Amino acid sequence: MRHNARLRKGTLALATALALTTGGTVAYASEGHSAVKPAPAAHHGNSGDRPHVILSTDMPPVNGIPGGEAGAADQKSDLDDVQTMVRFLAYADDFHVDGLIASSGTFANYANKQNILDVINAYGQVYPNLKLHDANYPTPDSLRAVTKQGRDGTWGQSATNVLGAGKDSEASDYIISVIDNATTPVWFVSGGGPRELGQALWKVQNTRSAAELNTFVSKIRAYFIDDQDGSAAWMRNTFPGLFVITNKCYWGMANTGPYDGTWLKNNVTTGHGALGADYPLSHWTYNDQGVYEGDSPDFLYLLSGTQGLSDLDDPALGGWGGRFQQDAPRQWSCAPEGGAAISRWEDARNQDFANRMDWAVKPYEQANHNPVARLNGHGGDDVVHLRAAAGSTVRLRADGSTDPDGNTLSYRWYQYPTTAGATITGSTSKRAELVLPDVPGTRVDVVLEVTDDGSPGLTSYRRLIVDVR
Ligand SMILES: [Ca+2]
Ligand SMILES: [Ca+2]
């Protein structure tokens, strides 16, 4: 498995190295030390395995016309949906791709799974090379097999208009089968109207017992980019047990600096294979070139879990797909900082994407691969939880972090979101010290970034949550 980029998701190491002290207080996270008890297992959303995902998209044709330009309605849309599909497929190895759903598009209100299949064809051309970098890339045929057609005419329509008897589709029936067969949570992430999930839920609600419905609902994790048809609000109102993140701050995904048309030509669309060549330079008019990708936070949220940055079950932690506040026990919306929670990761996510485009065309030895970050001995992707005494110091150690290419690594420790009262010394060193506030009950949240000196530079993460007692 030398060529397996997933090395960074190794098994969780026993934390014999974790610990710290001050003023006579000694805190250990490993067993056998009583000063600090292991935190309760409140968050284990990542599970070390790749998330199961059904991605729903309202993407137009690859050769579509930007929505702000003149042209036939069925060719026009916001082309950033195609941008998102290209980026998603470049990370297909990080997921179990259970479904690719074509929902009705913004302009002509058609759903056309051929639009997805066209990009999968491009993926197929670079698939042999991608596999040199990670054996987990799925075959093009396996992606084609899960690409399903939604109904036309549903974008922007009310729940009454888009849900109900006679409104099943290939996609909604397929979603039911995936959820029924699932033994772990399935993420339904939607960059268009989420009607196909809504219809699946409507059908189960109307054909099964309450207990069976509850079981079905409990397996679903939903992430909606905005409310693009009436089914989104209907699902939140009808199924309070449904886990839903609603992202209305997706604009934080758009280029704010160097990730313009020139950057795209140099790193994605030219000389990087057929998949990158399908990435539209423009989204709304031909002149506004650059990364836009308003829908990409839906799968980047999941990617952050696989990266060790966040916990899929705790949207308040924040990661590449944004940070969220809890509105109801199972419902989340954008945190007060809005799109800034997404734009703050712009450099890392675009460097990483550029690297994936290198994987599409370069042999292993000529491309970069992500570091493997370790925090106080912990590898893997689960957030590390620790309890420690108020006012004590926790040692932060990135010892054991490695790079598959032998790159030199740099380190950065910081609190995110900013937690009042704690301080970090040595924040750009492999070894740092976290001084906890003298306030029992405080939660201190620390990110470790490990960045290599390859080109493009790549960052890997670990996350530490300290509950101050
Ligand atoms: Ca969209
Ligand atoms: Ca590297």
Residues 14 and 122 in one domain: no
Residues 411 and 301 in one domain: no
Look at residues 153, 154, 332, 125 and name the one whose alpha carbon lies nearest to residue 228: 154
Quick one: angle between helices 210-218 and 170-181, nearest 10? 90
Residues 264 and 395 in one domain: no
d(CA 293, CA 118): 18
Residues 40 and 57 in one domain: no
Evaluate whether residue 327 is within a structural domain.
no
Residues 39 and 91 in one domain: no
Q: Which ligand is nearest to the CA of 453?
A: 2
Give the CATH number for residue 39: 2.60.40.10
For residue range 116-166, list pLDDT tens digits in order.
Answer: 999 999 999 999 999 999 999 999 999 999 999 999 999 999 999 999 999
d(CA 85, CA 100): 10
Give 77 Cα–ligand 1 centroid separation in angstroms.
9
Q: Which residue has the tokens 């639009």?
A: 115
Evaluate whether residue 65 is within a structural domain.
yes
For residue range 20-42, list pLDDT tens digits in order.
Answer: 323 323 233 332 232 333 333 33
CB 91 within 8 Å of CB 296: no
- Looking at residue 3, its pLDDT comes to 32
Q: Which ligand is nearest to the CA of 80?
A: 1
Q: Which ligand is nearest to the CA of 404?
A: 2
Domain boundary among 307, 334, 353: 307
For residue range 157-201, list pLDDT tens digits in order.
Answer: 999 999 999 999 999 999 999 999 999 999 999 999 999 999 999
Residues 264 and 230 in one domain: yes
317: helix, strand or coil:
coil
Evaluate whether residue 328 is within a structural domain.
no
Give 40 Cα–ligand 2 centroid separation in angstroms.
34
Give 295 Cα–ligand 1 centroid separation in angstroms.
6
Question: What letters, b where the CB count within 10 A reaches 16 and e where it falls short, cover 360-383?
Answer: bbbebeebbbbbbbbbbbbbbbbb
Residues 296 and 397 in one domain: no
Residues 159 and 293 in one domain: yes
User: Looking at the 3D structure of the chain, how many domains does it have?
Assistant: 2
Q: Which ligand is nearest to the CA of 133?
A: 2
Q: Which residue has the tokens 């003149």?
A: 70
DSSP per-residue codes, 343-368? HTTHHHHHHHHHHHHHHTTS-GGGS-
Residues 116 and 99 in one domain: yes
What are the tokens at 3? Answer: 């060529």
Residues 175 and 281 in one domain: yes
Give 402 Cα–ligand 2 centroid separation in angstroms.
9
Give 56 Cα–ligand 1 centroid separation in angstroms.
9
Q: Which ligand is nearest to the CA of 5?
A: 2
- Looking at residue 19, its pLDDT comes to 31
Q: Which ligand is nearest to the CA of 458?
A: 2
Give the CATH number for residue 188: 3.90.245.10
Q: Which residues of the chain have pLDDT under 50?
A: 1-45
- Looking at residue 71, its pLDDT comes to 87
Residues 212 and 227 in one domain: yes
